[in-house]
């Protein structure tokens, strides 16, 4: 079976920094290939033009084509793909039904809730909703990134407007008949390992531990109480290393940055994917602080998923999809963002070599059982059928 994965961002392999949607798309490719499918991918030409230097053109990785979004339909028809997977709804306006081709909508993130949480007031919400509805109307199946988003996905899928777009505008038969769950599959975050990277046992450092904070700056992760969490780390005698660049899409907060307390090491970024992996694996534990919201409640937060995939335990907020995994696998600590005493206790436990080793073993289990691409795509691949 020939499958096309349409990314809506640059993916690893171009030698430039990547973000969550690109990691997700590359993970889908890796997972489907692990189950024997023939898989290609496209990356939007419009994004490549933004993130690369025209004086130094990049070379696309094997089986990856840079395509202008307006040419996607022709690309699909010309190459006769049997299945097309598209991540989020960004490319949905450029996609149309193709006889003999099955479309899978990968609902990676609750984008509208994400934008609301970021305080964006410059978006046309009706347009955003219609784009998501069209993506669902085009789809023959929906993949959902984590169990907590299943209800959210079903709510959108069962909108009468989705059925109307599917039947009246796209000319397709009704999708949902009977149990709607048969059209939805959970696909947790498949995180590909960069070439030469292995998930290996981490040995606790002698003396001060290296505590890492990484990921693009987001409005919900720039909190007034972040410095308190930082102080708790440095007060415990640990080294706190921060790698939080701004994303090219402009996701950084408007507020003035708060000065780092003594003992915090600020690193330049963003880094290429291989270097980012090496940076994370140089840490003993990673930290993920965020403001709680409806979006964070159902989020499979990528920065923590990536850390766990690389075998590094995480100190994480109390209410997200990742929180559930940390508890289930004993792969770190869950801490309220403003609970300074809890942060201090977590850092104290990090310094216990036996406890830290146990948390690291839990992270390695999460890596293999939930975030390795072959594991994450196991159920989805079974539903797609045997490769032909």
Q: Which two tokens stand for residue 271?
A: 């880094």
The span from the CA of 272 to the CA of 15, in Å, is 6
pLDDT-based confidence at residue 57 (cuts at 50, 70, 90): confident
210-371 has CATH 3.40.50.1970 classification:
no
Q: Which CATH superfamily is domain 2-190+373-384 in?
A: Glycogen Phosphorylase B; (3.40.50.2000)
pTM of the model: 0.93
What stretch(es) of the chain map to CATH 3.40.50.2000? 2-190+373-384, 210-371
Q: Which two tokens stand for residue 133?
A: 């509805």
Helix axes 353-366, 340-350, angle to 10 degrees: 100
Helices in 195-320 by DSSP H: which ranges?
Answer: 226-235, 273-281, 294-297, 302-309
Helix (H, G, I), strand (E, B) or coil at 365: helix
Element spanning 240, H or E: strand 239-243
- pLDDT tens-digit readout, 3-45: 999 999 999 999 899 999 999 999 999 999 999 999 999 999 9
Longest dimension (CA), the chain: 66
Cis peptide before 270 (omega within 30 of 0): yes
The span from the CA of 267 to the CA of 11, in Å, is 23
The position carrying tokens 């850390």 is 307
DSSP conformation class of 257: P
Tell me the average pLDDT of the chain.
89
- Residue 186 pairs with which residues in a beta bridge? 144
Cβ(363)–Cβ(312) under 8 Å? yes
The span from the CA of 156 to the CA of 145, in Å, is 15
- pLDDT tens-digit readout, 299-340: 899 999 999 999 999 999 999 999 999 999 999 999 988 888
Which segment of 231-235, 282-286, 305-309, 313-317 scores lowest on mean pLDDT?
231-235
- Higher-confidence residue: 373 or 52? 373
Q: β-strand 102-107 against 83-87: which pairing, if any?
A: parallel
Helix, strand, coil share of the chain (percent; to 5)? 45, 15, 45
Q: Which two tokens stand for residue 355?
A: 């406890």
Maximum mean pLDDT: which of 108-122, 214-228, 235-249, 293-307:
293-307
Q: How far is CA 45 from CA 42, 73, 259, 332, in A?
A: 9, 15, 38, 39
- Residue 386, burial from CB neighbour count under 10 angstroms (0-12, 13-18, 19+): exposed
The span from the CA of 98 to the CA of 110, in Å, is 27
- Residue 74, burial from CB neighbour count under 10 angstroms (0-12, 13-18, 19+): exposed
- pLDDT tens-digit readout, 161-207: 999 999 999 999 999 999 999 999 999 999 999 988 899 776 665 67
pLDDT value, residue 340: 85
């Amino acid at each position: 079976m020939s499958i096309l994965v349409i990314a809506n961002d640059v993916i690893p392999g171009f030698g430039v920094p990547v973000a969550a949607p690109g990691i997700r798309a590359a993970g889908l490719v890796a997972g489907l290939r692990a189950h024997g499918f023939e898989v290609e991918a496209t990356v939007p030409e419009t994004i490549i033009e933004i993130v690369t230097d025209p004086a130094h053109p990049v070379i696309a990785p094997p089986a990856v084509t840079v395509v202008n979004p307006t040419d996607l339909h022709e690309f699909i028809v010309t190459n006769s793909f049997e299945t097309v997977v598209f991540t989020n709804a960004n490319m949905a306006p450029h996609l149309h039904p193709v006889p003999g081709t099955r479309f899978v909508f990968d609902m990676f993130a609750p984008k509208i809730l994400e934008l609301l949480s970021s305080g964006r007031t410059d978006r046309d919400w009706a347009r955003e909703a219609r784009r998501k509805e069209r993506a669902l109307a085009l789809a023959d199946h929906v993949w959902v990134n984590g169990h907590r988003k299943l209800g959210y996905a079903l709510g959108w899928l069962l909108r009468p407007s989705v059925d109307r777009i599917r039947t009246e505008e796209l000319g397709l038969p009704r999708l949902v008949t009977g149990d709607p769950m048969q059209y939805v599959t959970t696909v947790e975050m498949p995180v590909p390992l960069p070439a030469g990277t292995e998930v290996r046992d981490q040995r606790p450092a002698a003396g001060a531990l290296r505590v890492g904070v990484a990921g693009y700056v987001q409005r919900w992760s720039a909190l007034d109480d972040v410095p308190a969490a930082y102080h708790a780390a440095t007060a415990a005698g640990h080294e706190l290393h921060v790698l939080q660049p701004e994303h090219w899409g402009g996701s950084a907060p408007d507020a003035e940055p708060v000065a780092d307390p003594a003992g915090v090491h600020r690193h330049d970024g963003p880094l290429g994917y291989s270097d980012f992996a090496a940076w994370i694996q140089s840490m003993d534990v990673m930290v993920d602080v965020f403001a709680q919201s409806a979006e964070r409640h159902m989020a499979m937060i990528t920065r923590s998923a990536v850390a766990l995939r690389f075998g590094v335990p995480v100190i994480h907020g109390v209410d997200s999809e990742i929180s559930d995994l940390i508890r289930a696998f004993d792969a770190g600590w869950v801490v309220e963002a403003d609970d300074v005493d809890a942060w201090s206790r977590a850092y104290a436990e990090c310094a216990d070599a036996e406890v830290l080793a146990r948390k690291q073993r839990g992270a390695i289990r999460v890596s293999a059982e939930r975030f390795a691409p072959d594991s994450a795509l196991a159920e989805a691949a079974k539903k797609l059928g045997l490769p032909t």
